[in-house]
Amino acid sequence: MALFSRKTKKDLPAVPTHAGQAGETKAEAPKETKAVSAPATKADLSHVLQAPRITEKATMYAGSSVYVFDVATSANKKQIASAVQAIYNVKPRQVRIVNIRSKIVRNMRTGKSGVKQGGKKAYVYLKKGETITIS
């Protein structure tokens, strides 16, 4: 209890002073209940899709309704599909995920080495005729 606390000894909960001795038990704390989560919304899934991956290969795939995104490393296929549906209003027919390993790179001028960070990318397949405008 702090020196200038407004609480008195009557207000504090009763806790045994020697809880470790035989015959005495600690007061049980009330168990917390899990909150029921609401359905996924656009705000909840904003961290899943980080950016569209604009490369020559990704541009080639876009002609056949396959789009490539950089995604969060903790994201799974269901979260990615939900995020694409919420953001672009298109339901993907398939999602494939590829882990990108980190690479050791060397600076040619100084000779020092560093690490290029890895990540995760997702290939999102749409139905024929459906498109996404990526800017």
Sequence length of the chain is: 135
**pLDDT tens per residue across span 57-92:** 999 999 999 999 999 999 999 999 999 999 999 999
With residue 122 as reference, give the H or E element that holds it: strand 119-125
Structure tokens at 2: 């702090």
- 49-125 is classed in which CATH architecture? 2-Layer Sandwich (3.30)
Note the pLDDT of residue 108: 94
Q: Check residues 133 and 17 and name the one with the higher pLDDT.
A: 133
Q: Decide if 79 contacts 45 (C-beta within 8 A).
A: yes
Pairing status of strand 119-125 against strand 94-100: antiparallel
Q: Check residues 124 and 1 and name the one with the higher pLDDT.
A: 124
Note the pLDDT of residue 71: 96
Closest CA to 76 of 61, 50, 95, 59: 95
Note the pLDDT of residue 54: 94
134 CB-near residues (< 8 Å, 6+ apart) = 52, 54, 62, 67
51 CB-near residues (< 8 Å, 6+ apart) = 69, 70
Can you tell me the mean pLDDT for 89-118? 95
Measure the CA–CA gap between 80 and 48, rounded to whole angstroms: 6
74-87 b/e (C-beta count within 10 Å ≥ 16 → b): ebeeebbbbbbebe
